Amino acid sequence: MSSSPSAALVAPSFEGDFSPGEAFSLEAGGVLPSPTLRYAIYGKPNAAADNVIFVAHALSGSARVADWWPWLFSDGGLLQVRDHCVIGINMLGSCYGSTGPASIDPVTGRPYGPNFPLVSIRDVVTLQARLLDKLKIHRLKLVMGASIGGMQALEMAIQFPERVERVISIGAAPLRAMGLGLNHLQRRMIQLDPAWKDGYYAPDEPPREGLALARALAVCTYKSAELFEHRFARKPDRSGEDPWASAHERGQGLSGQRFDVAGYLDYQGERFVERFDANAYLAITRTMDTWDPARGYASAEAAFGRIQAEVMLMGISSDWLFPPDEIAALALRMEKAGVRCEHRELISSHGHDAFLAEPDELARLLHPFLE
């Protein structure tokens, strides 16, 4: 495998936009008159087109899989482009090329903004399947994803059972009440920002502080208390701030008084604002919240019973957004519905983000499933 490209060098062999050429009706009742999906392809389908892997991205990801999951493409990684064709597709509702709240609504000639309709995970995979049709990819060797990407992987196996040979879904299950509550509070933070303007903010005047704050809370849910304790404990902010400073000594509000963890969270929030749209954040978190694979079926078993793929569900031991016991319970329900379902648990202190932070351990657990 020494000739495989290193992580830093993998670029898509093709990037493009797909439009079905007609209006797309959404599960919740809305319509997208002319949706577009941005996609990226790494490597090439072989003659039999049986080497194609679709990687669905998580909340803030993009079609460029190698940008955010580089180690999958590295020497010995799961997705050797010498052997496989990897496709990434940006989700509806995102701000990385596919139709989302920042796109122009053909009906009004202005950005959708807060009027972007609710898109379900089922909508997302239904349009993805249309793109695969166009690409003449009728069968996927593997669909994999983590978090909302794992939701897409499972939903595709339910909706298009004949297309999917294998599924790997990491840290994904219908959100539980605590996760639904924390996502709701994040949306409210964005809307509390005076720059929010009911969602009609100008692109260069977004609700920065609200979005940064929402992201900072999300980061808390993506990490674990154990990791934070190890990294930050009760240390003061590393740039020299003093948590014991009185407000009146500084007159700077909260800055100047932070613990290290606070400085970290603020920084993560500020970075996120550079690369994400607030309305897209609202849209995708609602897409995540509303995912319920049983919706429209007599039961979850009836939905899962459609799956023909071999499935691997992976929980993460320290994940408190998608707790590992919830993933284990989901695996059990799938087995009862007749799905060939393996369950693994990634032992990590990194929380939900372990799917990005623990490449070696993840590879060790995933490789046997594909061989």
Task: Return the DSSP state at 235.
Answer: P
**In the stretch 102-141, what mask flags binding to a second copy with x, by CB under 8 A?**
------------xxxxx-----------------------
In whole angstroms, the minimum distance from the beta carbon of 348 to a second copy comes to 16
Rule CB under 8 A: choose which of 21, 109, 194, 240 binds a second copy: 194
Does residue 293 interact with a second copy by CB under 8 A? no
Task: Tell me how far apart the alpha carbons of residues 301 and 250 are, in angstroms, rounded to a whole number.
Answer: 60
Closer CB to a second copy, residue 62 or residue 126? Answer: 126
Question: Out of 62, 277, 352, 353, which one is annotated catalytic?
Answer: 352
Contacts of 368 (CB under 8 A, 6+ apart): none
Closer CB to a second copy, residue 185 or residue 302? Answer: 185
In the residue annotation, 147 being an active-site residue is answered as yes
Closer CB to a second copy, residue 46 or residue 252? Answer: 252
Region of 58-66, 194-202, 310-318, 355-363 interacting with a second copy (CB under 8 A): 194-202
Closest by CA position to 321, among listed 353, 297, 274, 348: 353
Q: Are 100 and 36 in contact (CB under 8 A)?
A: no
Q: Are 279 and 113 in contact (CB under 8 A)?
A: yes
Structure tokens at 350: 């990194």
Does residue 155 interact with a second copy by CB under 8 A? no
What's the angle, vertex CA 343, arms to CA 171 and CA 321, rounded to 5? 20
Closer CB to a second copy, residue 259 or residue 297? Answer: 259
Q: Are 40 and 15 in contact (CB under 8 A)?
A: yes
Region of 51-59, 125-133, 189-197, 336-344 interacting with a second copy (CB under 8 A): 189-197
Rule CB under 8 A: choose which of 123, 155, 193, 353 binds a second copy: 193
Structure tokens at 111: 């950005």
Q: Which of residues 31-90 bind a second copy (CB under 8 A)?
A: none
In the residue annotation, 319 being an active-site residue is answered as yes
Question: Out of 60, 319, 349, 350, which one is annotated catalytic?
Answer: 319
Residue 342 in 3-state DSSP? strand
Q: Are 26 and 123 in contact (CB under 8 A)?
A: yes
From the CB of residue 369, how many other CB atoms can be counted at a distance below 10 Å? 18
Q: Which of residues 307-326 bind a second copy (CB under 8 A)?
A: 320, 323
Does residue 328 interact with a second copy by CB under 8 A? no
In whole angstroms, the minimum distance from the beta carbon of 233 to a second copy comes to 6
Contacts of 58 (CB under 8 A, 6+ apart): 68, 145, 146, 147, 148, 149, 355
Q: Which of residues 212-271 bind a second copy (CB under 8 A)?
A: 213, 216-217, 220, 225, 228-229, 231-234, 243-249, 253-254, 257-262, 264-266
Contacts of 111 (CB under 8 A, 6+ apart): 101, 102, 103, 104, 105, 203
In the residue annotation, 299 being an active-site residue is answered as no
Closer CB to a second copy, residue 54 or residue 322? Answer: 322
Task: Tell me how far apart the alpha carbons of residues 97 and 99 are, in angstroms, rounded to a whole number.
Answer: 7
Rule CB under 8 A: choose which of 12, 174, 293, 359 binds a second copy: 174
Task: Tell me how far apart the alpha carbons of residues 150 and 172 are, in angstroms, rounded to a whole number.
Answer: 5
**Residues belonging to the active site:** 147, 319, 352
Residues that bind a second copy (CB under 8 A): 26, 28-30, 114-118, 174-178, 180-182, 184-185, 187-189, 191-194, 198-199, 209-210, 213, 216-217, 220, 225, 228-229, 231-234, 243-249, 253-254, 257-262, 264-266, 286, 289-290, 292, 320, 323
